[in-house]
Amino acid sequence: MANIFDLFRTIGSSQSTASPVSWLVVGLGNPGKEYESTRHNAGFMAIDAIAAKAGADVTRLKDKALVGEASLGETRVLLVKPQTYMNLSGEAVAAAASFYKIPPERVLVLCDDVSFDVGFLRFRKKGSAGGHNGLKSIIGCLGSDAFVRLKIGVGQKPAGFDMADFVLSRFGKEEAECLKNAATLAAEAVTLWVNGKENEALNLISAKK
């Protein structure tokens, strides 16, 4: 029968061979109860859906973000919710990328997009910020726009409506249900993407449009 020391050696061995974090999966939003369930927090909602699917907690505060490690399929990722407010999101992303030695190409950012209907999803491998201050901050802090984005449609601004007021408004009942379904779909698509199944991820979100 193995003694207690053999057991400790076995546990230590299993921990040392655990897969290292190879992707950052970042959801953008604003911290605080006053911003919960607002359009600008669609990225936070998607991270919560991913964490729930993976059985992970995103509750540890590190480098201006709430973080938690998770296994998505065969890939170990760090789930990140910057706590810097949207306009300074890049500070937390750059700190995590530096600590885990993650290049921009393996950073995946989930964010709201006012160009699309509520629940619409679209991947982009790189590009400009497109007027999104969170993406602008990340590009500036990483020194690169070559990170993956999964854009989450939150509806288009009604005519005459101030943009800042619109993105900080809450979803209606039907919109909230649509966004919830989109967040669940995003969790599946992100899992496929970080495991090298980009075409499957694209087909998944295309099939549900």
For the chain, how many residues are written?
A: 209
What gap in Å lies between CA 40 and CA 28, rounded to an integer?
8
Concatenating the DSSP letter of every residue in 57-76 gives ---EEETTEEEEEEEETTEE
Alpha helices in 55-150 (DSSP H): 89-100, 133-142
**Contact of 184 with 72, CB cutoff 8 Å:** no
- Active-site residue identified among 40, 64, 132, 136: 40
**Domain-wise residue ranges, the chain:** 19-207
What gap in Å lies between CA 197 and CA 69, rounded to an integer?
21
Can you give the pLDDT at residue 115? 94
Which residue is listed with tokens 């885990």?
A: 100
Listed residue (124, 80, 85, 74) closest to 98, CA to CA: 80
Listed residue (46, 19, 26) closest to 106, CA to CA: 26
- Split at pLDDT 50, 70, 90, the class of 3 is low
CATH H-level, domain 19-207: superfamily: Peptidyl-tRNA hydrolase (3.40.50.1470)
Can you give the pLDDT at residue 7? 44
**Contact of 119 with 51, CB cutoff 8 Å:** no
| Chain segment 98-126, per-residue pLDDT in tens | 999 999 999 999 999 999 999 999 999 99
Which residue is listed with tokens 């999964």?
A: 150
Give catalytic status of residue 40 as yes or no. yes
pLDDT at 15 > cutoff 90:
no
pLDDT at 158 > cutoff 50:
yes
What values do phi and psi take at 83, rounded to 5?
-110, 20
**Contact of 142 with 104, CB cutoff 8 Å:** yes
